[in-house]
Structure 1
Amino acid sequence: GEIEDALTTHPAVAQAAVVVREDTPGVKRLAAYLVPADREVETGAVRRMLSERLPEYMVPSAFVVLDALPLTVNGKLDRKALPAPTAADFTATGPVRGPRFASEERVHAVFAEALGLPSVGIDENFFDLGGHSLLAMALLQGLRAEFGHPLGLADLLARPSVAALTEFLVDATVLTALGGSDAAVPCSD
């Protein structure tokens, strides 16, 4: 209720419903369903507004825009009739970049698998896409297996996107191959 109330304070949102969905077994996420007021709803702006007003765990992972909320014959919200969010509903608005090179493709695959999404943009925040502590552990375990580098939760919190984490992993892997984290990369003159 508190999330729905906050959503309807946005001028572009006429009605809102928030439900906990488990479209992937064992992965629960908040999904917001929005009915626009008299203008188009920019879900990125709504997400940012909620992030400023509510704790992170109360910000929905997906924002689905509907023409109207489905109602039962009694006029109440029909939660079972709400559609499952698509991959696009989990992404921030704006251009979404895909992986650009092989190591980024490897990190991208682990991100998408951990989140239970078919794809993610390389600049998107893991936590904005529905990531939480249990999924973070699965992601870190997958990345450790893929790269052989001992990642911690602090690494993910500091670099929560595919692009940032790939850069960190590639740099860390090169430094490890050169003899440790204090090794200097020789200059080529």
Structure 2
Amino acid sequence: MRLFAYVSAPAELAQSALQDFLAKALPTYMLPERIIHVDDIPLTRNGKVDFGALPEPTSVRPLLPTPFEEPQTELEAKLCQIWSAVLRIENIGVNDEFIDLGGDCSPSGPVRQTGGFCGGGFLVHRSHQERR
């Protein structure tokens, strides 16, 4: 089961602060995979949460410290496509960090396997670091 948290909070509240708070308050198996910021929590006429009106987790790019930047090369586009498929997130930019997007050691296997077809994940990661 995948857990997501929808939060209606000021935009200046850092996602890392929310994750730290939840990590202290909840057992690990209850920690959300992603925290999704929304303007308001939608309610039904009865005042209950309208889960159907919440955005799909994959349609919302996480709040990240770096602004979104489109891929400029074919290799960057392929890597963003791979990360998007593995992490189930649309609109991954070239400066986005895998861990900040919710990636960890578990889903990196598919990234490594697919990355081999476009030049190898390690080389690309190194190139990404050199761009800064």
Tell me if TM exceeds 0.5.
yes
* CA deviation map 1:112-141 (0-9, x unaligned): 222233320122222332324442111111
Contact 2:41–2:54 at 8 Å: present in 1 too? no
Contact 2:58–2:88 at 8 Å: present in 1 too? no
Residue among 141, 146, 152 paired with 2:118: 146
Give the number of aligned pairs.
Answer: 124
Structure 1: how far apart are the matches of 2:117 and 2:103?
A: 19
Q: Which amino acid aligns with 1:129?
A: L
Question: What 5-or-longer segments of structure 1 have no aligned partner?
Answer: 1-19, 21-27, 171-189
Shift of 1:49: 0.5
Contact 1:114–1:135 at 8 Å: present in 2 too? yes
Q: Which amino acid aligns with 1:140?
A: R
TM-score, with length taken from structure 2: 0.65
Residue among 33, 45, 70 paired with 2:6: 33
Structure 1: how far apart are the matches of 2:18 and 2:32?
A: 6
Q: Which amino acid aligns with 2:127?
A: E
More strand per residue:
1
Structure 2: how far apart are the matches of 1:86 and 1:113?
A: 10
Greater radius of gyration (CA): 1
* CA deviation map 1:20-46 (0-9, x unaligned): 6xxxxxxx3x3222223xxx4236x1x
Structure 2: how far apart are the matches of 1:137 and 1:89?
A: 22
Query: CA RMSD of the aligned region, Å?
Result: 3.5
Contact 2:66–2:96 at 8 Å: present in 1 too? no
Is structure 2 residue 43 aligned with structure 1 residue 61?
A: no
By relative contact order (CA 8 Å, sep 6+), the higher-ranking structure is: 2
| Equivalent residue number for residue 118 of structure 1 | 90
Structure 2: how far apart are the matches of 1:166 and 1:119?
A: 22
